[in-house]
Amino acid sequence: MSKAFDIGIEALAAGPQPATLGAPETTPAEAAASESRASESLPIAPNGKSFYIETFGCQMNAHDSEKVAGVLLERGYRAVDTILQADLVLYNTCSIREKAAQKVFSRLGEIRFATPRKVIGVLGCLAQQEGEEIFERAPWVSLVCGSASYRKLPELMAQVEEGGRRVSGLDLDTDETFETEITRRDNPIRAYLTIIEGCDYACAYCVVPHTRGPERSRASEAVLAEARRLAEAGYTEIQLLGQTVNSYRDPSPRGLNFTQLLREVAAVDGIRRVRFTTSHPNDFHREIVQAIDDTPVLCDHIHLPVQSGSTPILRAMRRTYTREEYLEKISWIRAARRPFSITSDIIVGFPGETEKDFEESVTLLDEVGYDSIFSFKYSPRPNTTAATMPGAIPEAEQARRLAILQDRQRQIQIARNEKLVGGTFEVLVDGRHESRNQWSGRTTSNRPVNFTSPRQNLLGEYVQVRIARASANSVAGEQVL
């Protein structure tokens, strides 16, 4: 089942020494706020064991780590701020592109010298992709567990605590979702809430169906109960998560579809903003636009990954839609009364992508007018159909195409952001930059805004900001009092 590592295990020993290990960077305000929230609601370890989770990759992974932390806290573990302080170190990994996988391997190399004092676990997509092979190649790892097996974590952790050395959870064939009693949320402003796990699409380049397993939706009542708990805990913004979030189908007798669920989450008392990501164009229907248009709580931002602007490449990628069909969906969004922000993911240099195909991706940027994109060089992944396709594009050519695409998108963003100058927008404040004497936050369209204000303690507040300046990635202004 599992394929060989992307890079040799020799590279594991080549990384920097443990002195470089530390907590990922957050703004001081974020760190302070998350500490205070964490200590308000979380138990102190009665068993004296401490843990640290380092997370790689997407928001789904970030939120999975919050739930895994909840499982550990329930078992009496205590969260610590650095790897050096931790008895148990978990890496929640990503394998979407080779670079992401390599980063994990270098971390495993670094931690090698800190064992046997520490117990090391590998979770997430790389764990699922490489499976027990990880024990062979990195014998200092005691636990390997893919996300589809997280519901078994309590029993796997019990084995690890009894001294188990090669404990694994690698079942993919499941119809269950990961439910936790406690979730230790790291972000005090925006709460992530998973509504659907796995993926039933089979995009030719993508490891996700192989690493996260088949699509399974959570019962609507469980989702709504969690949304109500979040509102009671003081959250006002929720982001619904799923690899294909809009494929949601309530498995309970209520049988809600995605739009119905969106409307019900938006109606939860105390919730002022609801976002969702990532949408698949195939399951993107007009009624989603209608729901957003007539429900101000539903944020006017849609992340709708296109991947390529060329229909032949979309077909080779098995994306299930053409350029024209995608653009038709964009036209529904543009016809809404509210101006929506639209963002996307694009891959350049997929096998067989001609110059003409690539240019269609560039012209699509203008046709849609994206507010931002994530763009990537195609990276061949184990177990995917594209990995053996002919017509590989050399890395230098991929890099050239990526630079052209990003440059064009930058111009589009500058022009779009400049149109906001002079306008006033509601911003949910999520950070403070002391050195610049600025606050930061997001509009409902998810646009980053930096602003000045004579007020104190704005974190988590909704404020009105008049925009005075624009750049490619953010806008800036001052609070309107």
199 interacts with, out of ligand SF4, ligand 5AD, none, CB within 5 to 8 A per kind: ligand SF4
Omega before 27 within 30 of 0, i.e. cis: no
Are 348 and 376 spatial neighbours (Cβ–Cβ below 8 Å)? yes
Helix (H) and strand (E) counts for the chain?
A: 14, 19
Residue 477 contacts ligand SF4 per CB under 6 A: no
SS3 state of residue 422? coil
Stretch that binds ligand 5AD, among 64-72, 104-112, 373-381, 413-421 (CB under 6 A): 373-381
What's the CA gap between 315 and 102, in Å, rounded?
A: 29
Nearer to ligand SF4, 244 or 379 (CB): 244
- In the complex, minimum distance from the CB of residue 379 to ligand 5AD, in angstroms, rounded to a whole number: 4
Is residue 111 within 8 Å of residue 89, measured between CB atoms? yes
Q: Which of 169, 209, 281, 309 binds ligand SF4 (CB under 6 A)?
A: 209
Buried (b) or exposed (e) across 231-250, using 16+ Cβ within 10 A? beeebbbbbbbbbbbbbbeb
* Candidate list 140, 201, 332, 462; residue touching ligand SF4; CB under 6 A: 201
Site for ligand 5AD contains 448 (CB under 6 A): no
Q: Rounded to an integer, what distance in angstroms lies between the CA atom of residue 260 and that of residue 287?
A: 9
Binding mask 74-103 for ligand 5AD (x = CB under 6 A): ----------------------xx------
Q: Among 325, 328, 313, which Cα is nearest to 362's?
A: 313
**Residue 91 interacts with, from ligand 5AD, ligand SF4, none (CB under 5-8 Å by kind):** none
Q: How far is the CB of 344 from ligand SF4 (least distance, A)?
A: 12
Q: Residue written as tokens 């520490």?
A: 118
Q: Are 132 and 171 in contact (CB under 8 A)?
A: no
Given 378, 425, 439, 451, the residue binding ligand 5AD (CB under 6 A): 378
Site string for ligand 5AD, 341-360 (x = CB under 6 A): ----x-x-------------
Q: Which stretch binds ligand SF4 (CB under 6 A): 82-90, 205-213, 218-226, 404-412?
A: 205-213
Which has the closest alpha carbon to 227: 245, 240, 246, 243?
Answer: 240
User: With binding defined as CB under 6 A, does residue 236 bind ligand SF4?
Assistant: no
Least CB distance from residue 187 to ligand 5AD, whole Å?
20
307 binds ligand 5AD (CB under 6 A): yes
User: Is residue 405 a contact partner of residue 375, using CB atoms and an 8 Å limit?
Assistant: yes
196 and 245 in contact (C-beta within 8 Å)? Answer: yes
Which residue lies nearer to ligand 5AD by CB, 100 or 119? Answer: 100
* Euclidean distance between CA atoms 119 and 144, whole angstroms: 12
Smallest separation, CB 173 to ligand SF4 (Å): 17
> What distance lies between CA 208 and its chain's CA centroid?
13
Residues that bind ligand 5AD (CB under 6 A): 96-97, 205-206, 305, 307, 345, 347, 376, 378-379, 381
Residues that bind ligand SF4 (CB under 6 A): 199, 201, 203, 206, 208-209, 243-244, 280
